Each structure stands twice: as C-alpha cells, then as structure tokens.
Amino acid sequence: MPSPKYHADCKICIGMMMDTTCKQRPADDRTDSHATRVRIGIILPQDRVTRACLTIPDVPYTADGDPVRAVTLTARIEGTSIVLDAPRQSAKHGHSVGQLLTLSPATPAPTATLTLHNCIAGRGFHWSKHIDVALPGRVELSVKDGHLLVVNDLDIESYLEGVITAEMSGDAPTEFLKAQCIVARSWMRAATERKHSELGIDFCNDDCCQRYQGIGAVTESAAGAVDQTAGRVLIHTTGGIVDANYAKSCGGITEAPEHVWGAPKPGQHSTVDAPRDSAIARFGAITETNIAEYTTGPWLGECDAYCSPGAVPDRDLPRYLGRVDDGGGHFRWHIRYSGGELTDLLRRTLRGDAELQIRHIQDLVVTHRGRSGRAIRLVVAYDDNRGRRQATSIEGQYRIRDALHESFLFSSAFDVRIERDAAGRPKTIDLFGAGWGHGAGMCQIGALGMALAGHDHRRILHHYFKDVTIASDPSLRDA
C-alpha cells in the first residue's frame, strides 16, 4: 500500500489539508495517479443554488479542518464566501470558511456518508425532482459564478455502486446489475465525453453524464455485482474500451449511434431487442411506411421485445426502476395536443430560433429517422403573424424532444397523426410513440427483461454490443 501523501499539483488534494487519508497512488506509481478516484458534481452552478443543507453523521468528520459530528449545517453564500450556519452552541455558527469548504471523514471510514438535502435530480427532464443523497468520501463546496458547486470525491467502484442503483433499482436481478455496471464502467473509462471540465469535475450526477445519487440505495446484490465485475469493461476488437451508451427503453429496436451523435461508435450497433425469431425482425428499420404499424399495430398484443410489457410487465417495473423514475408506460405511449396547445408550446420551445412568429401550426413532418424510428429531423410548417406559410426544421433527437414537450418528450420515435378542421387547420395532433431515451447502446429495460428471462450478463452485453469482449480495463491490467 502506498503511504498517504499529498500531490503538489493534484486537483483532488488541493484544499483538503485536513484529510490525511488520500487513497491516490503516489506520483511515482506506474499507473495514472487519478485512476481509482472520481470527482462528481452533485450541485452545479447552473442549478443556481446559493444555500445547501447537510447532515453530518454521528462519526468523526472534519469541516474546514475542525472536528464536527452529528449535526445539520447550512452552507450559504455571502458575498463571495461560504458561511456556515450551525446550531448556536457550535463554534461553526456564522463562521465564514472562504470560497472552499471540505467535509470528510476524520479517519478512513468507507461506509460513512453525509446527507446532502434537496439536490436536483433530472435537470431539465420530465421527471426532475429534489432528493436527499448520502455521499461517501469527501464533499467539497465552493463558489462558482455566485452559486454553489458541490463535488463528491470518491473511489470509482463506490461511484459505480451508486450509478447502478440510481440508473435502476438495487433490487433488479444481479445479472442485470452486472451488465449495467460493466457498461457504466466502460463509458466512464472510455471518457470520450468530458462535458464539465471547466468545473474541475469528471462527471455530473445526472443523465447528462451518468446518474449518481449517492450510495444510500446500494443493496448487497448491487455491491456484489460491482465487486464481481471489478475493473471489467467492454473492449472492442480494435483494442479500445467501448464508449458504451445506454438508455431506458429502445421501444423494440435499438438506435444506431450515428443517428444520435452523428457518427458511428465502435462496438455499438442497431439491433432488434427481442429473441432471434421475433416478429419485430420483419420491420427491419423503421420508416414513414411502417411506423404506424410499429407504434400501434395489433402485433403489439403478442410482442416479445425484451423491453416490452410482455417481458417486463408494467406492474413490476416500478420496483426495478430508479427511485426518481415514474414506472411503466414507456414502451408505447401517446400524447395528444390540440392545434392551439401545440402552437403555444412551439412558440415557447422554439423561441429564439430564427425569431419565429407562429400564428398557427399547420403540419409536423418527420423527414429523417434513425433505424429505431427516432426522428432526427422534423419540419414544422406554420402560418406566421402575417399569414404567410413558413417552415422551420428541428435537427436531432434532443432538440426534437425538447421542442415537443414542456418537460422533454420520452423519445423522438413517434408517429404523427393530425386531424384537421373544415378549414384544414390541425384540430388535434397525436404523437404515438415508442421507447424512452435516445435508444442507443444497451436498452436498460430490455437488459432487465433478458435477466428476468434467465440470461447472464455476458449474453446481455453481447446482445447489445457487437465485436466486443468483456475484459479487465487495460490501464488497470498494466499497473
């Protein structure tokens, strides 16, 4: 074991002078000195939070270098500094700690967690809510642009325990949890997406990166799934770690990565999410010609897709989903707008796009779809305020989902059906949809369905990814 030491230019060690238990390897170790720890943003400046409430457990912690335990603190921004509000008898009450406050267990305590109250989960999504999270390791609060940045610094395997029990429930079958863990570890290790480097963090805690809501929901089987797959990732035949994505429900056919991110990704492909002889295979790719049948056809009564209610009944789904997810109803869904409602909605969601002046919506036309039926280009035809017929296009799944629902549409795999009044204007606009999320990589509910049907994690992963092996992360293996 390397002896505890500080690293002179280490972003993790800076500002943690009270913590003598840094578990990073020393700088002369052959491995990347940061390879075993990860920094996750829990509250971001974009959340515009200026006050955070934390409960320290009844084990020794340090706050700003001073001992603290069994207390609830409020950290608030005053000017450019963080001020602590604590019980009046505490020496910490009204104490300014400058621009950085670090809270950490005073002695090594892997299971010790502090509770951060009321953090946002699901930024910008339809299910966004506030939750309490139990955070192990070190928690740093700092001031960025007048708002709080709260960072959890912890070891990677603990982080993965948190990820797999936030993405889905820790009560999901162990083989599912193992598959989810390997995919999450692969995505993290491939690290092609660093969306928050300006904040000095590796990832955020939300679907933007990977969902992490502390370790309060970790079960014995989830911890076992992480332990039994320790260090294991998906390796593509070309040798690299697969930049492995996942989404809640593909809807029956997974999406090709080029239709989500604009370029193929080694190891990922579009696949029918069902047994080999399934009736879904006859659809091939979903197009304008077959999307009506795909989304609402009578074949759905006997659908055997792994993510369909035939494999995972809606009534069972809530116990397998993450604690912030609403259960069921995403394999096929339906939303109806009146012409006026959709006009109002698009006026708001397209605001800023080419100064649109929408008087009436006239048509929605999907001009490009991915293989799973997900719209990747949508043309909105409308009459402007001068009565002229205009059209604007919305490009990409994300923008389409953002435009067509107040709090983000479940997916862009939908069939548009319009009923018109005598004047030809849309009276009702129905969206008959399939799936939840971008649909690429591993279908989480499908993987759950496979595990419930008795498939092990290897079979699950080889179903969703192609030309891959499951092996130890080369960077760890070479250590």
Burial per residue of 422-446, b for 16 or more beta-carbon CB atoms within 10 angstroms, e otherwise: eeeebeebbbbbbbbbbbbbbbbbb
Q: Which stretch binds Zn ion (CB under 5 A): 100-108, 111-119, 249-257, 328-336?
A: 249-257
Angstrom CA distances, 413 to 62, 82, 357, 370, stand at: 50, 46, 27, 9
Give min distance, CB of 129 to Zn ion, in A. 18
Angstrom CA distances, 124 to 75, 184, 383, stand at: 25, 22, 29
Q: Which is nearer to Zn ion, 426 or 441 (CB)?
A: 441
Q: Is 250 in the site for Zn ion (CB under 5 A)?
A: yes
Per-residue x/- marks for Zn ion, 85-124, CB under 5 A? ----------------------------------------
| Nearest CA among 162, 321, 164, 334 for reference residue 249 | 321
Q: Is 188 in the site for Zn ion (CB under 5 A)?
A: no
Q: Which is nearer to Zn ion, 154 or 250 (CB)?
A: 250
Q: Which is nearer to Zn ion, 224 or 310 (CB)?
A: 310
Size of the site for Zn ion (CB under 5 A): 9
Per-residue x/- marks for Zn ion, 306-325, CB under 5 A? -x------------------
Give the footprint of Zn ion on residues 256-295 (CB under 5 A).
Answer: 273
Among 209, 376, 403, 451, binds Zn ion (CB under 5 A): 209
Q: Which is nearer to Zn ion, 84 or 324 (CB)?
A: 324
What is the spatial order of strands in the sheet that 95-96 belongs to? 95-96, 81-85, 71-78, 51-56, 114-121, 129-135
Give the H or E element holding residue 247.
strand 246-247
Give min distance, CB of 446 to Zn ion, in A. 3
Give min distance, CB of 374 to Zn ion, in A. 13
Give min distance, CB of 427 to Zn ion, in A. 34
Among 443, 450, 452, 468, binds Zn ion (CB under 5 A): 443
Spatial neighbors of 367 by CB under 8 A, at least 6 apart, are 377, 378, 379, 393
Q: Which is nearer to Zn ion, 217 or 303 (CB)?
A: 303
Q: Which stretch binds Zn ion (CB under 5 A): 95-103, 124-132, 197-205, 455-463?
A: 197-205
Give the footprint of Zn ion on residues 382-411 (CB under 5 A).
Answer: none
Parallel, antiparallel, or unpaired for β 246-247 and 442-443?
parallel
Q: Which is nearer to Zn ion, 244 or 443 (CB)?
A: 443
Q: Which is nearer to Zn ion, 75 or 460 (CB)?
A: 460
Q: Is 429 in the site for Zn ion (CB under 5 A)?
A: no
- Cα-Cα-Cα-Cα dihedral of 198, 202, 208, 212, to 10°? -140
| Nearest CA among 250, 282, 286 for reference residue 268 | 250
Q: Which is nearer to Zn ion, 266 or 446 (CB)?
A: 446
| Nearest CA among 32, 13, 270, 252 for reference residue 153 | 13
| Nearest CA among 312, 142, 137 for reference residue 212 | 137
Q: Which is nearer to Zn ion, 225 or 280 (CB)?
A: 280
Q: Is 433 in the site for Zn ion (CB under 5 A)?
A: no
Give min distance, CB of 306 to Zn ion, in A. 6
Q: Is 43 in the site for Zn ion (CB under 5 A)?
A: no
| Nearest CA among 214, 163, 167 for reference residue 323 | 167
Q: Is 262 exposed, middle or buried (0-12, 13-18, 19+ CB in 10 A)?
A: exposed
Q: Which is nearer to Zn ion, 364 or 447 (CB)?
A: 447
Give min distance, CB of 104 to Zn ion, in A. 24
Q: Is 208 in the site for Zn ion (CB under 5 A)?
A: yes
- Cα-Cα-Cα-Cα dihedral of 350, 256, 169, 59, to 10°? -80
Among 82, 151, 179, 204, binds Zn ion (CB under 5 A): 204
Q: Which stretch binds Zn ion (CB under 5 A): 86-94, 208-216, 356-364, 370-378?
A: 208-216
| Nearest CA among 332, 252, 313, 318 for reference residue 453 | 313
Burial per residue of 191-216, b for 16 or more beta-carbon CB atoms within 10 angstroms, e otherwise: eeeeebeebbbbbbbbbbbbbbbbbb
Q: Is 446 in the site for Zn ion (CB under 5 A)?
A: yes
What is the spatial order of strands in the sheet that 389-395 belongs to? 358-369, 375-384, 389-395
**Residues forming the site for Zn ion (CB under 5 A):** 195, 204, 208-209, 250, 273, 307, 443, 446
